[in-house]
Amino acid sequence: MFDLKDLCEKSAAAKYEAGLLTTEKKNEVLICAAKMLKQESAYLLAENEKDLANAKENSISEGMQDRLRLTKERIEAMSEGLVQVASLPDPIGELLEEFERPNGLKIKKIRVPMGVIGIIFESRPNVTADAFALTFKSGNCVILKGGKEAINSNKAIVKVLKKALEQNGVNSDVLALIESTDRETTAQFMKMKEYVDVLIPRGGAGLIRAVVENSNIPVIETGTGNCHVYIDKDADPKMAVDILFNAKTQRISVCNCAESLLVHKDIAKDILPAIKESLDKKNVELRGDDISIEILGDCVVPATEEDYGKEYLDYILSVKTVGSVDEAIAHINKYNTHHSECIVTENAETAEKFLNGVDAACVYVNASTRFTDGFEFGFGAEIGISTQKLHARGPMGLRELTSYKYKVYGNGQIRQ
Amino acid sequence: MFDLKDLCEKSAAAKYEAGLLTTEKKNEVLICAAKMLKQESAYLLAENEKDLANAKENSISEGMQDRLRLTKERIEAMSEGLVQVASLPDPIGELLEEFERPNGLKIKKIRVPMGVIGIIFESRPNVTADAFALTFKSGNCVILKGGKEAINSNKAIVKVLKKALEQNGVNSDVLALIESTDRETTAQFMKMKEYVDVLIPRGGAGLIRAVVENSNIPVIETGTGNCHVYIDKDADPKMAVDILFNAKTQRISVCNCAESLLVHKDIAKDILPAIKESLDKKNVELRGDDISIEILGDCVVPATEEDYGKEYLDYILSVKTVGSVDEAIAHINKYNTHHSECIVTENAETAEKFLNGVDAACVYVNASTRFTDGFEFGFGAEIGISTQKLHARGPMGLRELTSYKYKVYGNGQIRQ
């Protein structure tokens, strides 16, 4: 019988070993695991086939089946991901600060691993390898809980990764997969505070809400995005049209795409027709306020209150006209998910007001919101985008999977 | 009728204003509030008298009554605390990092406030002024929920602080006190995720556990400390005795005092008698393992498993002999609360092994654990000691009450 407590205990017991591994050893494991994933392609594809057969039997949607599917190319990409993480600098042991107190105490603030990281994710099996690479390189143990649709694929990937750990003489308990996929196990896992230092849910808003509501482990919320583009009266019109088109349509299913357009009233009449023309190329549905309907006509559906708060992840965009940058800021702070927000303007003062006033992880002037991404920020990798303010905010790479400790060096100091 | 939702909404509405206040304005408010607290001493003492009368009526312990009590001196200390916080550097707006991407995007990582901070605390009314000063200086709004024993004192202090805000033209909603002290209100407050960005419980282990279990707001856990002093075989015996005496007895009711002694077997016979002699001055009760009983005799009570996990906050110390630094590390990692841990040794290699291997916010070599404190670390102030790894660890000053955002400057960049 599957024993969750036993699994968590083993991870916790392995965390000191994981935290003390040398950079060389960690990279060796990652490179070795990358090779082995490719060598074991046939095995991985066969196990993945079982998940796909189940998915068909259970009439799971085509989109979901595509997310589930492993191919030779996807296995190679997964393998390449491990090699990339091996090439990144090791964050552990970094000296963050150093100071001396008047009593002679020398204090060093040093970057250390979190310990045991729990990750609850949905269908894509490549997350298994990604999450292992990032948590392992940052000196952590990881406990993965994937979706039940991908259980055979996840088990196979973990089996290969564990073999790579063992071949390199590393305790394979640094990586664990929760093989039981029922809801009770997930609920139990969220209460394993004694063993798990932080829990990261990766998936839809429903999953994230469930974790936040039920976990007693500290949580990092990731990835819901109701992102806005605000076109100021001082915007360059062509740039505005291009940025909005990119932010809305370059990839519709991701958290950093735009879901809502705000336009300054002074420029609305001039720019909305050009925006409509551009978005028509992708058949984007517009849901707007009275003024935008007045300008563009009946092709604009009247927007409801709900529209302004919605993450469509679809070819739909809400539109609102505003009288000032202050009104734009207030609207965004009322409806956004603190992810990514953009102003298009040539006025530096207005831009700075927007960047300071809007409450979001990433605030842009004259660039697409689609850049909120660990790779685009140059972090080399990403475990997710944090939309909360505690701990990490925005793209989370290796550093964001770490904590710190204070090492204090004395020569007999006692407190008076 | 008291309306918690309305109060939280008002705080959330004030947070952008709070975050944009200038350093000068914030300092003016703090200095003004400091003066007003002194001017209003008579009023504060009269209101405090009501709480003290209730406490007596409800037969509340002498210790608790002392914690509740305001005096002229304590009000002056509270006032002085505000002046000190005014003198600290403003963390908001600090440029943490700056980098440029190959596509020309300029990215600045800037320190920003958390937003709305909730603080749930127990009886000492001076926390009200302290917490306001630290959260206000770091650009946050604060919602305070104090214990019911201190409600009249807390209301009076908040009234004076709000007057200072108003006199300086600052929205007094940046400070709020939950005036209803029943349990249902506290339970409701812990679910106000929509309005509150972070929740900090200050108080005993029971309070902290209740908040962690019930809150859907991200929590920073503070302040339970089962701290150890490990005396290595290569310790300077006199230094070891002095550090232990200080860590155990200098102030017994605080989270950074020592609760457990580990001694290397090779040195136990020599040093335990000297330790006993020193601790006898304060009548410290020892609860030890077989070897320590063998050395010191029947004056040592046999320690139970429970003793090793206990935060006594009393003149009691558990004692265990170990065969190596590794055994000391394993024992500490099994029983500690990740607060503060000390090794006494002249061997630099052993020291480093201990500092790296022990999982705690602050790890000491040859100094008392009592130095884990925002003032002692030079932070100038402290809201508490974090014992978790997410966000802040160890003493939390102004910087630890902040988050960051990425400001991204482009000139039309779109994602390919």
DSSP B236-262: -HHHHHHHHHHHHHS-TTSTTSEEEEE
* CA separation for the pair B149, B50 (Å, rounded): 10
Q: What's the domain count of chain A?
A: 2
B55: helix, strand or coil: helix
* CA separation for the pair B394, B225 (Å, rounded): 11
Contact B243 A414 (CB under 8 A): yes
pLDDT band at B320 (very low <50, low <70, confident <90, very high): very high
Q: Which helix (DSSP H) or strand (DSSP E) does residue B395 occupy?
A: strand B394-396
Task: Give yes or no: residues A211 and A240 share one domain.
Answer: no
Q: What is the pLDDT of residue B250?
A: 94
Contact B405 A394 (CB under 8 A): yes
Question: End of a domain among A202, A222, A242?
Answer: A222
Q: Which residues of A touch B362 (CB under 8 A)?
A: 405-406, 408
Which of A16, A356, A378 is nearest residue B99 as measured by Cβ atoms?
A: A378
Q: Per-residue pLDDT tens for B215-250?
A: 999 999 887 899 999 999 999 999 999 999 999 999
Q: Per-residue pLDDT tens for B74-115?
A: 999 999 999 999 999 999 999 999 999 999 999 999 999 999
Domain coverage including residue B289 = 227-371
- pLDDT above 90 for B182: no
* CA separation for the pair A198, A219 (Å, rounded): 6
pLDDT band at B205 (very low <50, low <70, confident <90, very high): confident
Contact A364 B410 (CB under 8 A): yes
Q: Which residues of A touch B409 (CB under 8 A)?
A: 365-367
Beta bridge partners of B220: none
DSSP A393: -
* CA separation for the pair B341, B365 (Å, rounded): 9
Which contacts (CB < 8 Å, 24+ apart) does range B354-360 have? Answer: B354/B230, B354/B232, B354/B325, B354/B328, B354/B329, B355/A407, B356/A20, B357/A16, B357/A20, B357/B325, B357/B326, B357/B329, B357/B333, B358/B329, B358/B332, B358/B333, B359/A15, B359/A16, B359/A115, B359/B332, B359/B333, B360/A405, B360/B332, B360/B336
Q: What is the pLDDT of residue B381?
A: 80
Q: Closest chain B residue to A211 measured between Cα atoms?
A: B216
Contact B414 A220 (CB under 8 A): no
For tokens 């001082």, the residue is A234
Task: Give yes or no: residues B151 and B206 share one domain.
Answer: yes
In a domain? residue B381: no
In a domain? residue A398: no
In a domain? residue A410: no
* CA separation for the pair B398, B114 (Å, rounded): 11
Task: Give yes or no: residues A200 and A235 share one domain.
Answer: no
Pairing of strands A106-113, A402-413: antiparallel
- Using alpha carbons only, what angle is made at residue B220 by residues B218 and B221, rounded to the nearest 5 degrees? 130
Of B347, B345, B399, B379, the residue nearest B84 (C-alpha):
B379
In a domain? residue A64: yes
CA-based nearest distance A202→chain B, Å: 17
Residue B236 near residue B243, CB atoms below 8 Å: no
Task: Give yes or no: residues A280 and A154 share one domain.
Answer: no
CA-based nearest distance A227→chain B, Å: 15
Amino acid at B158: V
In a domain? residue B132: yes
CA-based nearest distance A175→chain B, Å: 20
Task: Give yes or no: residues A217 and A238 share one domain.
Answer: no
In a domain? residue A402: no
Task: Give yes or no: residues B209 and B262 share one domain.
Answer: no
* CA separation for the pair A280, A20 (Å, rounded): 56
Contact A370 B414 (CB under 8 A): yes
Q: How many CB atoms lie within 10 A of CB B329?
A: 23
Which of B107, B220, B412 is nearest residue A239 as measured by Cβ atoms?
A: B412
Q: How many CB atoms lie within 10 A of CB B40?
A: 18
Contact A250 B415 (CB under 8 A): yes
DSSP A89: P
Which of A105, A371, A404 is nearest residue B413 as measured by Cβ atoms?
A: A371
CA-based nearest distance A363→chain B, Å: 5
Residue B225 near residue B336, CB atoms below 8 Å: no
In a domain? residue B19: yes
How many CB pairs below 8 A link A and B? 189
* CA separation for the pair B147, B182 (Å, rounded): 9
Question: End of a domain among A174, A190, A222?
Answer: A222
Contact B219 A218 (CB under 8 A): yes
Task: Give yes or no: residues A83 and A215 share one domain.
Answer: yes
Of B252, B146, B242, B225, the residue nearest B189 (C-alpha):
B146
- Both tokens of residue A206? 């429903």
Of A292, A296, A294, A236, the residue nearest A260 (C-alpha):
A292
Q: CA A255 → CA A311, A312, A319, distances in Å?
A: 8, 10, 18
Q: Closest chain A residue to B209 measured between Cα atoms?
A: A216
Q: Which residues of B touch A15 (CB under 8 A)?
A: 359
CATH number of the domain enclosing A83: 3.40.605.10
* CA separation for the pair A7, A12 (Å, rounded): 9
* CA separation for the pair A113, A65 (Å, rounded): 35
Residue B135 near residue B83, CB atoms below 8 Å: no
Provide Rg for chain B, Cα atoms.
24
Of B149, B370, B137, B185, the residue nearest B259 (C-alpha):
B370
ipTM higher than 0.90?
A: yes
Contact B391 A390 (CB under 8 A): yes
Of B388, B387, B384, the residue nearest B203 (C-alpha):
B384
Tens-binned pLDDT, residue by residue, of chain A (416 aa): 789 999 999 999 999 999 999 999 999 999 999 999 999 999 999 999 999 999 999 998 888 888 899 999 999 999 999 999 999 999 999 999 999 999 999 999 999 999 999 999 987 898 899 999 999 999 999 999 999 999 999 999 999 999 999 999 999 999 999 999 888 999 999 999 999 999 999 888 888 889 988 999 999 988 789 999 999 999 999 999 999 999 999 998 889 999 999 999 999 999 999 999 999 999 999 999 999 999 999 999 999 999 999 999 999 999 999 999 999 999 999 999 999 999 999 999 999 999 999 999 999 999 999 999 999 999 988 899 999 999 999 999 999 999 999 999 999 999 99
Q: CA A142 → CA A17, A114, A177, A368, B335, distances in Å?
A: 13, 10, 8, 33, 22
* Residue of higher predicted confidence among B213 and A141: A141
Residue A324 near residue A349, CB atoms below 8 Å: no
Task: Give yes or no: residues A139 and A273 share one domain.
Answer: no
Contact A356 B393 (CB under 8 A): no
Task: Give yes or no: residues B17 and B67 share one domain.
Answer: yes
In a domain? residue A132: yes
* CA separation for the pair A292, A269 (Å, rounded): 8
CATH number of the domain enclosing B311: 3.40.309.10
Task: Give yes or no: residues B54 and B167 share one domain.
Answer: yes
Contact A414 B250 (CB under 8 A): yes
Of A173, A170, A165, the residue nearest A14 (C-alpha):
A173
What is the DSSP annotation of B129-166?
HHHHHHHHHTT-EEEEE--GGGHHHHHHHHHHHHHHHH
Residue to mutate among B20, B325, B413, B416, with most A CBs inside 10 A, is B413
Task: Give yes or no: residues A134 and A212 share one domain.
Answer: yes
Q: What is the pLDDT of residue A43?
A: 98
Q: Which residues of B touch A338 (CB under 8 A)?
A: none
CB neighbour class for B200 (10 Å; exposed up to 12, middle 13-18, buried from 19): buried
* Residue of higher predicted confidence among B416 and B203: B416
Q: How many CB atoms lie within 10 A of CB B59?
A: 6
Q: CA B390 → CA A115, A394, A405, B222, B385, distances in Å?
A: 11, 15, 12, 12, 13
Q: What is the pLDDT of residue A107?
A: 98
Task: Give yes or no: residues B144 and B251 share one domain.
Answer: no
Contact B408 A198 (CB under 8 A): no
Contact A415 B236 (CB under 8 A): no
